[in-house]
Structure 1
Amino acid sequence: MNGNCILLNGDYTFLGLVDWKKAMGLMFAEKVRILKFSDRVIQGVGRTFRAPAVAVLVKVVRSVYRGRVPFSRRNVLARDRFACAYCGSRIKPITMDHVIPRSRGGKTDFDNCVACCRACNHKKGALLPREAGMALRHRPWQPTIAEFIRIRLRHSGVYGLLVELGLA
């Protein structure tokens, strides 16, 4: 789990991942309750501590996302699971491609952008996929907040832990 701690809102909804140092700070400030500790041991001056694995805020804070997942390159790559939408490759670096190129009036949004490897991006260029002889493995889509959180959790490797705790 990379030393990350799952941070849940006061109503047990997923807020995000924080590193163990931030989680320890929240724990000592009594802003969170710890649901599960990790195996990581931190040696303090006078005693040892176990790092938190899952923490829940004592109070409910306003949700990070209002009604929609915000558009960003990183969120497009996460939605597509860091795999090329044309060939399925996970060879890094993964870039973002406009299915309908901007030069042809394509918008920069979830419904027109996909993750793409450099080779496919170069091959497609400013063409439409059919003009370049390429096919999309899946259509681009605007993820809901619930879908996006599930995708991010699975990619981070903490989904199994939430299932184990009965939170997913």
Structure 2
Amino acid sequence: MRQVLLLNATYEPLTTLPLRRAVCLVLREKAEVVHHDAAGAVLHSAAMAIEVPSVIRLRRYVRIPYRTRVPLTRAALMRRDNFRCVYCGRRAETIDHVHPRSRGGKHVWENCVASCMACNHSKADRLLEELGWTLEITPGVPRGAHWRLIGVINDGDPQWAPYVTEPAA
């Protein structure tokens, strides 16, 4: 299903919407089209035709509650580690707890990393010191509003790039 990027009145990216919901917001004049679909697609009804939007902006500002921490999800963790195993650098498929949960480790950002199947099975429930392994990076909580848009930056429409740029670290 086609997705449309939704911006706040201040041009901050909020989320993505299905095309149907985006068109409804535009027709009810709750949002305005910022950027049309590059292919020039048009939706027709009996009485009107509307160009397919790619990016829309709300006409009124919507306050987003401040979150102290980004929720820990599989998608967010993989994005943080760039879909690469932190142990060997291959493509990551699983989540590994640096300090195993069976030994009292917590399921928090600081203890979770992306891992390939081979490294995850080799490590099992052992500590890094027991294996002689080291971490090149220190796992931490990602920061910034762009984490609300997981998947949009890499997998989204190229036309969204000016609106969803990641802040420099």
One fold, TM greater than 0.5? yes
In the alignment of these two chains, the number of paired residues is 165
Q: 1:114 maps to which residue?
A: 113
Q: 2:30 maps to which residue?
A: 31
Moved more, 49-58 or 118-127: 49-58
Q: 1:44 maps to which residue?
A: 44
Q: 1:61 maps to which residue?
A: 62
Answer whether contact 1:153 1:159 (CA < 8 A) is retained: no
Answer whether contact 1:65 1:145 (CA < 8 A) is retained: no
After superposition, the C-alpha distances for 1:100-152 in whole angstroms (9 at most, x for unaligned) are: 11112211111110111222111111012342343334221111124635875
SS at match of 1:131: helix
Q: 1:139 maps to which residue?
A: 138
TM value normalised by structure 1 = 0.79
Deviation, structure 1 residue 26: 1.8
Deviation, structure 1 residue 161: 3.6
Q: Does 1:15 align with 2:9?
A: no
Moved more, 32-41 or 44-53: 44-53
Return the alpha-carbon distance in structure 2 between the equivalents of residues 164 and 61 of structure 1: 17
In structure 2, give the amino acid aligned to 1:96: I
Deviation, structure 1 residue 19: 2.7
Q: 1:74 maps to which residue?
A: 75
Q: Does 1:90 align with 2:88?
A: no
Q: 2:98 maps to which residue?
A: 99
In structure 1, give the amino acid aligned to 2:25: L
Deviation, structure 1 residue 83: 2.1
Gaps of 5+ in 2: none
In structure 2, give the amino acid aligned to 1:148: W
Gaps of 5+ in 1: none
After superposition, the C-alpha distances for 1:11-58 in whole angstroms (9 at most, x for unaligned) are: 221112223222222222222111101135144233543221111111
Rate the CA distance shift 1:45–1:121 in 2: closer, same or farther, 3 A: same
Identity within the alignment, % = 35
Rate the CA distance shift 1:98–1:164 in 2: closer, same or farther, 3 A: closer
Return the alpha-carbon distance in structure 2 between the equivalents of residues 167 and 98 of structure 1: 27
TM value normalised by structure 2 = 0.79
Rate the CA distance shift 1:147–1:132 in 2: closer, same or farther, 3 A: farther
